[in-house]
């Protein structure tokens, strides 16, 4: 009864705020009331194919171990995408950079389907540079990717604007260091703050995961993405002759805790397939929204767990990918 009353109140608010748009109420309602929590998730079956036939009754969602009643449940939400491409320009990427840029551009061409989908490009070594702000113009994305180079023997070339991470300088030098976690943290804080409320926020990062100079930690980078309601997909590529190869454990944690996935391509074909896999996942997502029901007071961090309840889907070994927690009141303060 309480949830039904809340639903009615929010729906009335939505109808007055958006007259003539009752047919789109699910999109508008989700962000009208600050109590509502959105959780995007994707599902993969035993054959590693994305499942697009899940019903609301097939899953259960828990917040801090308390089962929640869904306010809304949508299949394959046709919401605009805001994607930040993060490209590692440290020395470990020198041999692969050309193919990385080609694969990234092919991905952008495929995933940007209308003027509401937007892409930003950020390069990083010791510091992150905004090469291209969010745009739906694919030519602008292509130009920003083209001008990024790793100079011989080391160094960065581009025309991006530096994104200040904090008062403290990055540790190490500008040539032999990689500040991966700084790049994710500042992208979540700065770039994703420009995104309209109803859009899906996504970071796709190409890196070896070997961070050597960040002011932020991996956990702070994850927290920043969660606060910005941003999913992170990582493509792990490295050069064992330059560093230790790829830090798989760090990248797996980054993807898992933000609701994304991680890929470790070995060939150029693998690289292209990784981007295609991310594209398919973004087009196969579900979203659930709920008004939290708590039996006891809790802090700003809330844990989320989604379980498959359908016996048939359990037999098919369905796996779900989603963020594992969220902040009640997002806050970005970095001294």
For residue 24, the 8-state DSSP code is G
Instruction: Tell me how far apart the alpha carbons of residues 294 and 301 are, in angstroms, rounded to a whole number.
Output: 13
Same domain? 179 vs 290: no
Q: Where a domain ends, among 254, 282, 310?
A: 282
Same domain? 106 vs 13: no
Structural domain for 59, as ranges: 37-76+286-335
Name beta bridge partners: 249.
none
Same domain? 259 vs 229: yes
- Report whether 124 contacts 216 (CB < 8 A): no
Instruction: Tell me how far apart the alpha carbons of residues 60 and 68 are, in angstroms, rounded to a whole number.
Output: 8
Residue 3, both tokens = 């949830």
Same domain? 115 vs 250: yes
C-alpha R_g of the chain: 20
Question: Based on the structure, what is the number of domains in the chain?
Answer: 3
Same domain? 129 vs 264: yes
Q: In this structure, what CATH number is given to the domain that contains residue 275?
A: 3.40.50.410
Same domain? 317 vs 257: no
Same domain? 241 vs 300: no
pLDDT of the chain, 335 residues: tens digit per residue: 444 444 444 433 332 232 332 333 344 333 434 578 889 999 999 999 999 989 999 999 999 999 999 999 998 667 899 999 999 988 778 888 899 999 999 999 999 988 889 999 999 988 899 999 999 999 999 999 999 887 665 566 667 788 888 655 554 444 457 899 999 999 999 999 889 888 899 999 999 999 988 989 999 999 999 999 999 999 999 876 665 679 999 999 999 999 999 999 999 999 999 999 999 999 999 999 999 876 555 667 889 999 999 999 999 899 999 999 887 754 433 33
- Report whether 202 contacts 79 (CB < 8 A): no
Q: Please state, as a whole number, how many other Cβ atoms lie within 10 Å of the Cβ of residue 85.
A: 26
Instruction: Tell me how far apart the alpha carbons of residues 105 and 252 are, in angstroms, rounded to a whole number.
Output: 24
Q: Where a domain ends, among 282, 302, 321?
A: 282
- Report whether 274 contacts 297 (CB < 8 A): no
Q: Where a domain ends, among 262, 282, 302?
A: 282
Same domain? 320 vs 171: no
Same domain? 41 vs 148: no
- Report whether 254 contacts 289 (CB < 8 A): no
Same domain? 274 vs 313: no
Same domain? 88 vs 23: no
Instruction: Tell me how far apart the alpha carbons of residues 202 and 316 are, in angstroms, rounded to a whole number.
Output: 28
Residue 91, both tokens = 């020395």
- Report whether 204 contacts 83 (CB < 8 A): yes
Same domain? 276 vs 131: yes
């Amino acid at each position: 009864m309480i949830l039904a009353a809340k639903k009615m109140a929010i729906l009335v608010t939505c109808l007055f705020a958006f007259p003539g748009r009752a047919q789109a109420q699910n999109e508008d309602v989700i962000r009208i009331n600050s109590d509502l929590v959105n959780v995007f998730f994707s599902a993969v079956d035993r054959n590693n194919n994305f499942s697009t036939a899940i019903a609301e009754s097939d899953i259960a969602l828990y917040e801090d171990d308390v089962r929640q009643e869904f306010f809304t449940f949508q299949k394959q939400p046709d919401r605009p995408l805001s994607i930040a491409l993060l490209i590692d320009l440290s020395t470990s990427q020198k041999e692969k950079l050309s193919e990385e840029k080609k694969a990234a551009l092919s991905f952008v061409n495929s995933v940007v389907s209308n003027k509401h989908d937007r892409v930003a490009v950020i390069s990083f070594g010791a510091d992150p540079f905004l090469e291209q702000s969010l745009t739906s113009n694919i030519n602008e994305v292509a130009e920003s990717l083209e001008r990024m180079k790793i100079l011989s023997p080391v160094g960065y070339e581009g025309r991006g604007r530096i994104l200040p991470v904090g008062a403290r300088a990055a540790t190490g030098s500008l040539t032999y260091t990689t500040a991966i976690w700084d790049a994710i943290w500042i992208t979540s804080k700065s770039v994703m703050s420009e995104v309209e409320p109803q859009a899906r926020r996504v970071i796709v990062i190409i890196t070896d995961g070997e961070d050597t100079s960040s002011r932020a930690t991996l956990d702070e980078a994850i927290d920043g993405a969660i606060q910005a309601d941003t999913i992170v997909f990582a493509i792990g590529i490295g050069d064992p002759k330059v560093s230790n190869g790829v830090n798989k454990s760090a990248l797996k944690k980054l993807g898992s805790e933000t609701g994304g996935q991680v890929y470790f391509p070995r060939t150029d074909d693998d690289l292209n397939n990784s981007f295609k896999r991310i594209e398919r996942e973004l087009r196969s997502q579900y979203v659930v929204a709920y008004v939290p029901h708590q039996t006891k007071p809790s802090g700003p961090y809330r844990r989320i767990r989604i379980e498959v309840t359908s016996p048939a889907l359990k037999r098919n070994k369905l796996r779900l990918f989603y963020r594992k927690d969220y902040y009640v009141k997002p806050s970005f303060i970095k001294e």
